[in-house]
Amino acid sequence: MDHAPQLIQERSAPPATLVIFGASGDLTRRKLLPAVDNLARHSRLPDQFALVGVARTPMSDEQFAESALGGRSLAEKRQLAGGIRYVAGGYDDPDTYKRLAETLDELDAVRGTAGNRLFYLSTPAGAFEPVINGLAGAGLNQAREGSFSRLVIEKPYGRDLATARELDGIVHGAFEEHQVFRIDHYLGKDTVQNVLALRFANSIFQPIWDRSWVDHVQITVAETLGVGTRGGFYEHAGAMRDIVQNHVLQVLALALMEPPASFGGEGLRSEKVKLLQAIRLPTDRDIADAAVRGQYTRGGTREELMAGYREEVGVDPLSRTETYAAMRLNVDNWRWAGVPFYVRTGKRLPARLTEVALQFQRPPHLPIPTDQLTGLEADALILRIQPNEGISLRFGAKVPGHSFRVRTASMDFSYDQTFVEESPEAYERLLLDALIGDASLFIRSDEVQHSWRIVDPIIEHWNKDTSPIPTYEAASWGPTDADRLIGRNGRKWRNAS
């Protein structure tokens, strides 16, 4: 009998045309085109693949192909250059979609793309409605029998629950929910998906993943950069809309949800929705104690003095937009009742860091004299999503020597040191999933709405609050109010040095 291990079948896209609206924009240049290039280099795209750019900027097919290929030898390897087209036109002009339809039909004939179309909206949110209506007006929202027509939408998906529902009405007026892929690039990171692997591929963690063992959970998304050239955008977003409503709550849902029946179909997404439904909605009375905001001011060192938020380009000199947000959340279900969840995000913090930290209960009784304990901290499991991707388990251990002294130690797993395989970029993974039709790592309509239901009351409360917005110096760990938020029960933030 042959006991040779079976090779895992590598995933690859079917024949299809990827249409990028906003093809001359920054996201397309920095993320989408490199993702297409990497998929081609790793043989994930068939010869029957085509790429079409759509934007207002005048450009020829050859010019767009040059920007897509970047002068590299991709054309020789995959013959992709022959399948690159560009359609210039306004998003509200029916002629744009007529010419796009003709281009897609031509590619079906000459490239064999089989009528499969993936429309990617890499545009400002204000263009979503005219593009969706334009696609529907040209009949491009409907796939021929045996083919697919899918829509990928970038965040922000609305500015609040009401506008998210309005956008859903526009989207569902042209596309069925199964055709819609709402993208959050965080979910494409291997290290985010490793949260699922850690929880559900290992029996040792499942018994301790609940209120009986966990004292509290911290989720941190920290950035060292300021708003840069995005001041105008950030003024209308803020940390709560830009990071918490999507990235933070998605990571929280993956870390806390119940085991799905399977990772296929809707199992994974349904369990995330159940978790978001179980988060207690903050009331006006609770928000002052459960949510903190802040805005960075000038700070750093004499050698590297960083401007304050109100000094950034495109920012109102009297701005009240938060660049830092922290919350305490409670999950009202059997597994997590009574366990506080602390989440925070901010710009101009001392370290770039995304992590989930589960701090466990302290032992009910320590028979070791306190003078033999050297700064012993509570046990913790830390999932590092970026950078230095990996997992740390913190525990107490005896210090070598003749005396019995105990201090904190760690066991570390590092992605870089353990795996030789190259980790794909998030957009690369998600583009391939959308082409295949795997929606597991995309966000369903009800997920979006539940996320907005959690943050909307806090944003509304802050908008009504006329008191000065708390501030924190650039390169510090945020406003002092955030330390008070977590410190009320004797806890403290995990601040990397």
Residue 24 labeled ligand binder:
yes
CA distances from 227 to 286, 296, 307, 351 (A): 30, 10, 10, 15
Residue 374 labeled ligand binder:
no
Q: CA-to-CA distance for 352 and 224, rounded, in angstroms?
A: 5
Residue 492 labeled ligand binder:
no
User: How many CA within 13 A on the CB side of residue 322?
Assistant: 27
Does the active-site annotation cover 42? no
Residue pair 172/182 in contact (Cβ under 8 Å)? The answer is no
Residue 2 labeled ligand binder:
no
Residue pair 350/477 in contact (Cβ under 8 Å)? The answer is yes
Residue 332 labeled ligand binder:
no
Write the single-letter amino acid at 230.
R
CA angle 88, 435, 83 (to 5 degrees): 45
* Of the candidates 365, 379, 277, 397, the residue with the CA atom closest to the CA atom of residue 329: 277
Residue 446 labeled ligand binder:
no
Residue 464 labeled ligand binder:
no
Q: Packing angle between helix 249-256 and helix 190-200, nearest 10 degrees?
A: 20
Q: CA-to-CA distance for 270 and 267, rounded, in angstroms?
A: 5
Q: CA-to-CA distance for 453 and 79, rounded, in angstroms?
A: 47
The backbone torsions φ and ψ at residue 372, rounded to the nearest 5 degrees and listed phi first, read -100, 5
Q: In 3-state terms, what secondary structure has residue 490?
A: coil
Which one from 247, 365, 450, 461 is the annotated catalytic residue? Answer: 247
User: 169 is written with which tokens?
Assistant: 């009405």
Residue 156, preceding bond cis, omega within 30 degrees?
yes
Q: In 3-state terms, what secondary structure has residue 101?
A: helix
Q: CA-to-CA distance for 323 and 135, rounded, in angstroms?
A: 37
Residue 398 labeled ligand binder:
no
Residue 242 labeled ligand binder:
yes
Residue 155 labeled ligand binder:
yes
Residue pair 244/325 in contact (Cβ under 8 Å)? The answer is yes
Residue 25 labeled ligand binder:
yes
Per the annotation, binding residues for substrate are 185, 189, 223, 242, 347
Residues noted as catalytic: 247
Per the annotation, binding residues are 22-29, 56, 155, 185, 189, 223, 242, 347
Per the annotation, binding residues for NADP(+) are 22-29, 56, 155
